[in-house]
Amino acid sequence: MLENSTRTELSSLGEFGLIKHLTQHIEIKNPSSIKGVGDDAAVINYSEGDKVTLVTTDMLVEGVHFDLTYVPLKHLGYKSVVVNLSDIYAMNGQPKQITVSFALSNRFSLESIEELYAGMLMACEKYGVDLVGGDTTSSLSGLVISITAIGEGDKNKVVYRNTAKESDLLCVSGDLGGAYMGLQILEREKAVFKENPKIQPDLEGKDYILERQLKPEARRDIIKLFEALEMKPTSMIDVSDGLASEILHLCDQSQVGCELYEEKIPIDPQTYDTARQFNLDPTMCALSGGEDYELLFTISTSDYDKVKNQLDFTVIGHVTNKTAGANLVTKSGGSHPLQAQGWDALRKK
Amino acid sequence: MLENSTRTELSSLGEFGLIKHLTQHIEIKNPSSIKGVGDDAAVINYSEGDKVTLVTTDMLVEGVHFDLTYVPLKHLGYKSVVVNLSDIYAMNGQPKQITVSFALSNRFSLESIEELYAGMLMACEKYGVDLVGGDTTSSLSGLVISITAIGEGDKNKVVYRNTAKESDLLCVSGDLGGAYMGLQILEREKAVFKENPKIQPDLEGKDYILERQLKPEARRDIIKLFEALEMKPTSMIDVSDGLASEILHLCDQSQVGCELYEEKIPIDPQTYDTARQFNLDPTMCALSGGEDYELLFTISTSDYDKVKNQLDFTVIGHVTNKTAGANLVTKSGGSHPLQAQGWDALRKK
């Protein structure tokens, strides 16, 4: 029943193309569905007051999103929860509950699943989230994890992707490209190990980027900081697929352009040096690496004074008119259209 | 990293054993988490008023839960949504939103995924539910679908699994065992086709049970009927794994026993006749077949007058003291402890 007169390969659309294609004709029927597909999380309102419910979901597939030859199951459990919480924070909300489903083959023992689960519960503990449901089933091959996070937001404080305005400042939290370089180190050591299993992995001096890859954190602290600074970004998204891809999402949905300054992109020295060792351009790692789980947001210029002395914020550009497009202004002063060459799940075959 | 000093096979626990084992130490932290793991859906309260949020999730894996050689993708999409909505109805609530995630290999074309999605949206349309989010990724082998349904309930009308009381009546909606017999027909025709691809499938006179298997419906009408009859079941669960398994869940969680009368179990003539053709005991098909998505519930004896003339309700037994256990009273008058021999995802290898 898979035959069809026409056959369009999924790889020709890519993940975002596929989602857009499938969801383009969806019409919202329930008044409680404030915001559906198209942001970090859906927004639902069941309350009489000022609170709305935020819902987001992610699926992680063995061999596509993670490689158990070097990812400990506990770390995987932790990370799989954190990446979902990150989407709730990216709405300027607070995650409160998660549901966890997994499919696993008989290759896994109870002890190994306990490790995975322990990592999930560790993340729940750290972020004050309750695990309230889930499903467990068998799989014929690898491990598949699906997590849904549910959170709470103030109706007037939820921040969407489609509300950036011309002349807003483009900002990012933390630093970028680290998780990608951590992955490169792990992939290198895996290759070395395959050649000669007696050689010990060489991970010295790579603590920071390995942690960025194996045990990322969601930026709850940034949401608290917005609260403390009494400010609300004009738009926000989390950086899961690489800076370039996320900026293009913001610009596309907000119908604006932007100028991103290469020299402003925050990159940790360990990320920078490791990229150089691998003959990679550190800027490209930040633009296309992904999995940093930092927050990318725009703010009104009137809020600049509030953020300028915050060490965790970096102003990396500004929002322009849509006709100008989204551009990268390089260190040498050139300007190039920003391209998303990021991690694309559907091309990873 | 999968090695461990002890290794307990997952098959020794079964699906429910695994879930119980993993979730036994979970403590609820957020006041908004009214009910966590252990019912058809979690119950969340973000509202100031009388409404609570219900959340449930299910994962369906190709080769475990469905076989694409005879399940059309549109039907699969429809069914995958319906089984989640059924869990919300089983809380006496109204589903309002779903999120949909799927992992798929490049074996699938865009057209085939459109079919799947069209089936999902058809179910959304029929049940008045909004698709508000999801995730799409690649898989190395088959198709994995994970759906989360979110719904609304009245705080005082939500019905749990753990509140059945001694002397309550045990009731079920519709009839049982049909979906299982539909599956037997499809499996038989698949085997015939493998032997000789030229033979046309023999599905004549099996419309009802095939529809029960391929395109089940969730019992929204029963929830409306409770409302119209101004009654609230004392406990409720949906029949996804077979009547025996669900009764044992109710008894276990409510700390009660029960007597189930074999002669009262509602079985459609087509189900009955087909079971006989397959040399199967129709009662066993109802007890252990699963996938009927009917509602199993208990009511106070004082509500008996309200249900006795409802064609869609059957009183199949009554609740007893825990010490008496859960028993099947056979047509010949014997009494046997009820056993869940139902579909167990973790044994299906």
- CATH code of the domain containing B56: 3.30.1330.10
Q: Please, are residues B37 and B80 in contact by the beta-carbon 8 Å criterion?
A: no
Which residues from chain A sit within 8 angstroms of residue B65, using beta carbons? Answer: 137
CB contact under 8 A, A130 and B29: yes
Residue A94 pairs in a beta bridge with A152
Number of domains in chain B: 2
Chain A, window 103-132: residues with a beta carbon less than 8 angstroms from a chain B beta carbon: 103-104, 106-114, 117, 121, 128-132
pLDDT of residue A5: 62
From B134, which residue of chain A is nearest by alpha-carbon distance?
Answer: A57
Tell me, yes or no, whether B230 and B182 share the same domain.
Answer: yes
Inside any domain, residue B199? yes
From B130, which residue of chain A is nearest by alpha-carbon distance?
Answer: A28
Tell me, yes or no, whether A178 and A122 share the same domain.
Answer: no
Tell me, yes or no, whether A123 and A217 share the same domain.
Answer: no
From B343, which residue of chain A is nearest by alpha-carbon distance?
Answer: A137
DSSP 3-state of A188: helix
Which residues from chain A sit within 8 angstroms of residue B349, using beta carbons? Answer: 106, 138
Tell me, yes or no, whether B116 and B190 share the same domain.
Answer: no
Tell me, yes or no, whether A238 and A307 share the same domain.
Answer: yes
Inside any domain, residue A349? no
pLDDT band at B9 (very low <50, low <70, confident <90, very high): confident
Inside any domain, residue A59? yes
Residue A167 CA to residue A283 CA, distance in Å, equals 24
* Residue A315 burial class via C-beta count within 10 angstroms: exposed 0-12, middle 13-18, buried 19 and up: middle
Q: Please, are residues B328 and B260 in contact by the beta-carbon 8 Å criterion?
A: yes
Residue B85 CA to residue B91 CA, distance in Å, equals 10
Positions of E strands within chain A: 33-35, 42-44, 51-61, 94-104, 130-138, 144-154, 169-173, 235-239, 257-261, 294-299, 313-320, 326-329, 335-337
- Please tell me which of the candidates B9, B47, B139 has its beta carbon nearest to residue A64: B139
pLDDT of residue A343: 45
* Test mutation, A22, A64, A73, chain B, max B CBs within 10 A: A22
Average pLDDT, chain B: 89
Chain centroid to CA A268? 18
Radius of gyration of chain A (CA): 20
Residues 6+ apart with CB under 8 A from B41: A133, B54, B55, B56, B87, B88, B90, B91, B93, B149, B151
pLDDT tens sequence across B180-191: 999 999 999 999
Phi, psi of A24 (to 5 degrees): -65, -25
Tell me, yes or no, whether B202 and B314 share the same domain.
Answer: yes
Helix axes B269-277, B178-195, angle to 10 degrees: 40
- Which CATH number fits the domain that encloses residue B331? 3.90.650.10
pLDDT band at B93 (very low <50, low <70, confident <90, very high): very high
pLDDT band at A31 (very low <50, low <70, confident <90, very high): confident
Tell me, yes or no, whether A116 and A41 share the same domain.
Answer: yes
Tell me, yes or no, whether A117 and A69 share the same domain.
Answer: yes
CB contact under 8 A, A114 and B18: no
B10 contact A CB<8A: yes
CA distance A284 to chain B (A): 23
Inside any domain, residue B345? no
Tell me, yes or no, whether A228 and A194 share the same domain.
Answer: yes
CB contact under 8 A, B135 and A348: no
- Which of A213-222, B11-20, B154-163 has the least mean pLDDT? B11-20
Inside any domain, residue A115? yes
Q: In Å, what is the CA distance from B262 to each residue of A138, A253, B269, B282, B328? A: 32, 59, 16, 10, 7
pLDDT of residue A348: 38
* Residue B174, domain extent: 169-337
Mark which of A105, A126, A154 sits at the end of a domain. Answer: A154
Determine what percent of chain B is predicted with pLDDT higher than 90. Answer: 66
Which residues from chain B sit within 8 angstroms of residue A1, using beta carbons? Answer: 68-73
pTM: predicted TM-score of the whole model, two decimal places: 0.90
Tell me, yes or no, whether B280 and B256 share the same domain.
Answer: yes
Which residues from chain B sit within 8 angstroms of residue A63, using beta carbons? Answer: 140
A14 contact B CB<8A: no
Residues 6+ apart with CB under 8 A from B5: none
CB contact under 8 A, B108 and A348: no
pLDDT tens sequence across B241-300: 899 999 999 999 999 999 999 999 999 999 999 999 999 999 999 999 989 999 999 999
Tell which wins on pLDDT, A187 or A39: A187
pLDDT of residue B338: 94
pLDDT tens sequence across A249-290: 999 999 999 999 999 999 999 999 999 999 999 999 999 998
| ipTM given for this complex | 0.88
Tell which wins on pLDDT, B6 or B275: B275
CA distance A250 to chain B (A): 17
Tell me, yes or no, whether A173 and A147 share the same domain.
Answer: no
Inside any domain, residue A5? no
Mark which of A99, A127, A154 sits at the end of a domain. Answer: A154
Tell me, yes or no, whether A116 and A236 share the same domain.
Answer: no
What mean pLDDT comes out for the span A166-187? Answer: 97
Instruction: Flag whether pLDDT at A2 surpasses 50.
Output: no
- Please tell me which of the candidates A53, A109, A133 has its beta carbon nearest to residue B9: A109
